[in-house]
Amino acid sequence: EAYDYFHIEHSDNILDIYYELEDYRKKNLMNIHNNSKFSSFFNLVRAHNYGAAFSFLSDAGGWQRWAFSLLAAVISVVIALWIARLPVQRKLEGLALALILGGALGNLYDRLTLGYVVDFLDFHWSASHFPAFNIADSGISVGAVLLILDGFINKPDSQATD
């Protein structure tokens, strides 16, 4: 069975970046009302997301913290096993999975230690704001796009010999 430390090593680096940004956020954005305007389209804010993407189920009463934590933990184990069994040649797929894993673990960390995910990147145009998000969300999103791209590049028919 092919095992490539390269994939897991990238996952660790993504988590290191997340923790560095998390440390910066804690030191500089501790007050939920302390927002920093960087440009005409970007602010650093502090938003507590008790739900999932786009604050889905954020007002569900608290059970969602544990449900989303369990879901993230299970998905993280599945992705880690997927990475461990991934052939060495599948670098794009490995990178995509590492980004998703790093994001899932980053949000899981917030959810378990704080009870919510801290979102702090706020992009807007005029008075329209995209929902605030964090670096972990970015890793998950970029990883998902790369995984889809990898699916087009490495079609299932071409994997029959893997």
**Looking at 4, 16, 23, 119, which residue is catalytic?**
119
**Looking at 137, 150, 157, 162, which residue is catalytic?**
137
CA nearest neighbour of 117 among 72, 79, 83: 72
Q: Do the strands 128-129 and 117-125 form a parallel or antiparallel pair, or are they unpaired? A: antiparallel
The residues near 17 (Cβ < 8 Å, ≥ 6 apart) are: 135
Residue 122 annotated in active site? no
Which residues are known catalytic residues?
A: 119, 137
